[in-house]
A and B are shown apart, each in its own frame.
Chain A
Amino acid sequence: MATKTFAGKSVEVDDEGFLVNPDDWTENMASEIAAEIGIGDLTDLHWKVINFMRSDFKEKGQIPTIRRIKNAGGVSTKDVYACFPEGPAKKAAMISGLGKPQGCV
């Protein structure tokens, strides 16, 4: 398994760059992971998505879908796509230190 260093901490990642252990993630890593996949400054809206994904994953044990981010997390689909363009579900999950989403929606 490959390792990468984010925020000065070495973490295990899979071959696509998703953190293997969500517990390794710290808030300081988010902006560094984001920069790697071409997302610049993280705004409050980015953080609203990240925080919701982290807390929902902790509670449900599943990475939330874009629909759940809209209905339970209160961030519209348009905003999610604007914040994390070209692959919002995967990019948001990656920045949040979660694995790759496995669902179809």
Chain B
Amino acid sequence: MAEEKIKKVSIVVSKGSLEGVYPGLIMANGARMEGIEANLFFTFFGLEAIIKKKMDKLKVATVGNPAMHMPSLIGIIPGISSFATSMMKKEMDKIDIPPVSEFVEMIHDAGAKLYGCKATVDMFHLSMDDFCEQTDSVINVGKFYEISAGGQIIFT
């Protein structure tokens, strides 16, 4: 018997680095491309992905990231993170992965919903004006579970 198809996913983006944000965006976009309902919930530093002034300035972590294969002492040199980020963005553009702001717009246009985390918003003293226009609303964790009902939850 064929496995039952996934119908709905709710993806939590909790990290604010470039490599922390993209997997969640790609998974949400990919879900919509397969006709799967998708919610994105941005929490803690992951919230930067929907903050207007920050979303296109996310950087790759060059310190404390063993998979960069770069000693952390080199990673701390000013400009190294920006350099690594720009190299990575170039490669991403080649395979048509858009910058965060364009990706968020596409995901929203594809019918996914985007939510900010209430606790983080309070903690960082943010308001709706700080968020990109695609942000549906700021919700608490209870509401998140309510919205996620009947689907899969993925934490990134």
Would you give the 0/1 interface string for B81-118, flagging 1 where the beta carbon is closer than 8 Å to chain A? 00000000000000111100010011001110000000
A66 touches B106 (CB 8 A): yes
Please judge, given known A-B contacts A104-B30, A105-B26, A105-B30, whether A67 and B35 are in contact too, CB under 8 Å.
no
A67 touches B95 (CB 8 A): no
Q: Place the interface of chain B in its size category.
A: 10 to 19
Query: Considering the chains assembled together, what is the distance between the CA atoms of A81 and B112 in angstroms?
Result: 12
Interface of A is mostly: helix
Please judge, given known A-B contacts A67-B98, A105-B26, whether A87 and B109 are in contact too, CB under 8 Å.
no
Nearest residue, chain A, Cβ from B30: A104
Among A85, A86, A104, the one with the most B-chain Cβ atoms within 10 Å of its Cβ is: A104
Please judge, given known A-B contacts A67-B106, A70-B106, A105-B26, whether A81 and B32 are in contact too, CB under 8 Å.
yes
Would you give the 0/1 interface string for A49-78, flagging 1 where the beta carbon is closer than 8 Å to chain B? 000000000000000011110100000111
Query: Considering the chains assembled together, what is the distance between the CA atoms of A65 and B33 in angstroms?
Result: 11
The answer to the question of B29 belonging to the interface, with a C-beta cut-off of 8 Å to chain A, is yes
Nearest residue, chain A, Cβ from B109: A77
A86 touches B98 (CB 8 A): no
The answer to the question of A88 belonging to the interface, with a C-beta cut-off of 8 Å to chain B, is yes
Interface residues of B in 95-153 (CB under 8 A from A): 95-98, 102, 105-106, 109-111
Residues of A within 8 Å of B102, CB to CB, are 67
Residues of B within 8 Å of A104, CB to CB, are 26, 30, 95, 97
| Chain B residues proximal to chain A, CB less than 8 Å | 26, 29-30, 32-35, 95-98, 102, 105-106, 109-111
**Beyond the given A68-B96, A88-B33, A105-B30, could you list 7 further A-B residue pairs with CB under 8 A, ordered by the A residue number?**
A67-B102, A77-B106, A81-B111, A103-B96, A104-B30, A105-B96, A105-B98
